[in-house]
Structure 1
């Protein structure tokens, strides 16, 4: 093991192994939930109205829905499959309940960080908006160096994620169709290149087509499975709640293991507090900063309460004898095979994983575009990052690199710390913006 790997593993053992990041993010969620008087609950109906309303966007900026699709694309990725599988494998069914709790709290954090990104964003000479943690660290706190640090740690994180996600696609296609990972990796890289290169970045337009399709397709199949097993649903819900509070012995063995698995996987999945989603959200053209904050808060709900819960139900409706002793993606594959048949099950998982992962790859490329813009407005900066991102996609597709995943964990931890270092000092501005919005628009709340 190299010195670099040892350092990365040591830092991860402190930040993630000692649950420091988990505690920080949970505290943030509770604090912002209380300070906003449960904004994520009071404005739930209004969030849906905003998402479906007509955009004021011009050709240079995103519509609220497009910004929602980009951030949802990165949230609703392989983590919604593998993350839920891991949570249930280690923490039992009760871990799902704690994922719900984390999503509810995280929705408030997502609202605050996105509202700040909207308030402190910048506009270039073409009228296009750019924002995110690096911008509110510079324009809100006057800490440009912190903004640069966020960009660097973000790129470290996203480089690892690009490789891991790409590898998930090539492996699933190898299992389902016996396709060579090298060939699949080339095709995947070329598809991504067609979207992100050219006179105009087509990421937003592609994702506002892919995200709804993949969500509807996935939920339709899960709905079929649930209806097919409707008589078992009361037992599944009973299992989730009973194991969540240790009334029944969870797979993890203790109530602590159940809670921590749900909390960790929930945080990994919904990304609230990491600073990623605001990078896309700040490019939306809306009438008031709070509006996009509310839309991104809704994104956290969609990620966990809808997609993650759907994945959990598929596994919990599977006979225990079928998946006993299994873990990881094999557990998920066997679960779908049980409900849909081995042939269709394998094909469906491969296709849905491709859609989830490809959308994640494009979303991360958009995040990189925004953050590189913070470092330089020169076109070579964008071109360099795009080539770098495509390289990560190709390399990840042909080989699995555990070190890159560990490096991604470290990058995620550091960018979260940097992000929240700006969010907390500036949060009063977001609170005031919410009060102004409530008074000005006289919203009828839930």
Structure 2
């Protein structure tokens, strides 16, 4: 196992530095420039759109689609991932997560807008789509689209679910009852509950995530804020530490693979998934009058994940000045920090938060996988028997994730997610002109005092090849 873990870590390190760091930074800066900073410039507009109701009450609203994507983004990585980055990379990792979040939000706009432009219609008239569809129809590369789907399934049914399950059981390590059988029990319980929800299909997933995510997020941020306020005297030195470490380039150059820069980017990408190609699968299902609307809404999902939840974890931990090293990497560091204010109730709250984070993440992950399976099955939902067998395999993966080594879980999730990103972001760069043209059309109609309504002819596409947006 150690040899396999070593090989996975070597692949992981090479994939993120230099390859993915360059691809993500260049793509994000390119989109930011071309859209004139859409993720910052139209922030207020994004908030307004979030509350816009769907024209069809039976379809998925813009808010619901955003919450499904947020359910997958917001997960155990917001707690365990941030803790790992701070303990292994240093406080400066927090700064680089912020940087990649703001830059990456422009990539989130592009990919979700493209998903809306190229979305398809099922037999009941409901929209669906995602990167596989804009790769196939936009680039004319069905084999690459299929490869993307394979990487997506590997990431969300295997890598992320293994890691999510491991992260959840790790929060129980500090309890007195924890022993060799505890991971087995936790893995089994989690697998059974998720399996039950999966049998309810898409509607149950949307309903559960749209209810749990807001409550979960608000509660976690509120508790983190209380801890920070109790340690208000450490706030100035905390920010000084973050910026000093972030710009300690001598230290970064001395060990860049394990530096705050690389950890910040890796954990930031794992957490908010901007540019990975996951959120567009949910974005395509929203019923909106203009693709740019869903693109703008998805930028908020990235902000909620990183600037709000990841930052809440980082500042809560750093403000307490509790010991930070490899021995407490993961749940223990966060639990030690929150205990300084809430005592024994603190770790219990983190455990509850992790259960909810893991639960919604696992459901959001499977939502994406269903879409990829349909694409590989010639755009048809696989048979009920096949899906039952597949869900059973997903349940087994969740169980296994609770008992595998931490390094293997992180490396597998990082690698499969990185491969998705290496297909999706270059595709977005090539097709980005359509999303950018869509944004210009949206802003033009808004300036004219209209509620923007999109037509394919406005960006020079042939409507005969599309299911939606026809004149």
TM-score norm. by structure 2 comes to: 0.86
Establish whether residue 123 from structure 1 lines up as the match of residue 121 from structure 2: yes
Establish whether residue 261 from structure 1 lines up as the match of residue 259 from structure 2: no
Distance 1:136 1:106 in 2: 19
Asked if the contact 1:176–1:350 (Cα under 8 Å) also holds between the matched residues in 2, the reply is no
Establish whether residue 74 from structure 1 lines up as the match of residue 72 from structure 2: yes
Distance 1:102 1:356 in 2: 22
Q: Could you say which residue in structure 1 is the equivalent of 2:248?
A: 246
Q: Could you say which residue in structure 1 is the equivalent of 2:12?
A: 12
Deviation at 1:177, TM superposition (A): 7.2
Distance 2:371 2:427 in 1: 18
Q: Deviations over 1:150-202 (max 9, x none)?
A: 11111111212101211222332454473633332222122212222136640
Establish whether residue 415 from structure 1 lines up as the match of residue 417 from structure 2: no
Residue 300 of structure 1, aligned match among 289, 299, 302: 302
Residue 434 of structure 2, aligned match among 408, 425, 429: 429
Deviation at 1:422, TM superposition (A): 1.8
User: SS at the partner of 2:286?
Assistant: coil
Residue 184 of structure 1, aligned match among 175, 183, 186: 186
Deviation at 1:225, TM superposition (A): 1.2
Q: Could you say which residue in structure 2 is the equivalent of 1:370?
A: 371
Q: 1:200 to 1:152 in 2, by over 3 A?
A: closer
Q: 1:198 to 1:73 in 2, by over 3 A?
A: closer
Structure 1 unpaired stretches of 5+: none
Residue 95 of structure 2, aligned match among 89, 97, 116: 97
Across the aligned residues of Structure 1 and Structure 2, the Cα RMSD in angstroms comes to 2.6
Deviation at 1:10, TM superposition (A): 5.6
Q: 1:443 to 1:373 in 2, by over 3 A?
A: farther
Asked if the contact 2:232–2:319 (Cα under 8 Å) also holds between the matched residues in 1, the reply is no
Q: Could you say which residue in structure 1 is the equivalent of 2:348?
A: 347
Q: Could you say which residue in structure 1 is the equivalent of 2:457?
A: none
Q: Could you say which residue in structure 1 is the equivalent of 2:383?
A: 379
Distance 1:332 1:221 in 2: 12
Distance 1:264 1:6 in 2: 18
Q: 1:57 to 1:393 in 2, by over 3 A?
A: farther
Q: Could you say which residue in structure 1 is the equivalent of 2:134?
A: 136
Asked if the contact 1:164–1:400 (Cα under 8 Å) also holds between the matched residues in 2, the reply is no
Asked if the contact 1:275–1:415 (Cα under 8 Å) also holds between the matched residues in 2, the reply is yes
Deviation at 1:112, TM superposition (A): 0.3
Residue 394 of structure 1, aligned match among 392, 399, 417: 399
Deviation at 1:12, TM superposition (A): 3.3
Asked if the contact 2:202–2:367 (Cα under 8 Å) also holds between the matched residues in 1, the reply is no
Q: Could you say which residue in structure 2 is the equivalent of 1:145?
A: 143
Asked if the contact 1:90–1:251 (Cα under 8 Å) also holds between the matched residues in 2, the reply is no
Q: Which moved more, 1:216-225 or 1:373-382?
A: 373-382
User: SS at the partner of 1:218?
Assistant: helix
Deviation at 1:367, TM superposition (A): 0.5
Distance 1:214 1:120 in 2: 33
Q: Could you say which residue in structure 1 is the equivalent of 2:460?
A: none
User: SS at the partner of 1:19?
Assistant: helix
Q: 1:135 to 1:384 in 2, by over 3 A?
A: farther
Distance 1:240 1:323 in 2: 14
User: SS at the partner of 1:202?
Assistant: helix
Distance 2:87 2:227 in 1: 20
Q: Could you say which residue in structure 2 is the equivalent of 1:277?
A: 279
Deviation at 1:364, TM superposition (A): 0.2
User: SS at the partner of 2:402?
Assistant: helix
Establish whether residue 41 from structure 1 lines up as the match of residue 47 from structure 2: no
Q: Deviations over 1:406-431 (max 9, x none)?
A: 33322212111111232111110011
Asked if the contact 2:72–2:362 (Cα under 8 Å) also holds between the matched residues in 1, the reply is yes
Asked if the contact 2:165–2:402 (Cα under 8 Å) also holds between the matched residues in 1, the reply is yes
Q: 1:100 to 1:126 in 2, by over 3 A?
A: same
Asked if the contact 2:92–2:246 (Cα under 8 Å) also holds between the matched residues in 1, the reply is yes
Establish whether residue 24 from structure 1 lines up as the match of residue 26 from structure 2: no
User: SS at the partner of 2:275?
Assistant: coil
Q: Could you say which residue in structure 2 is the equivalent of 1:290?
A: 292
Distance 2:68 2:85 in 1: 25
Q: 1:45 to 1:308 in 2, by over 3 A?
A: same
Q: Deviations over 1:338-383 (max 9, x none)?
A: 2221x21221111111111111101101011111111221334533
Structure 2 unpaired stretches of 5+: 450-471
Establish whether residue 316 from structure 1 lines up as the match of residue 318 from structure 2: yes
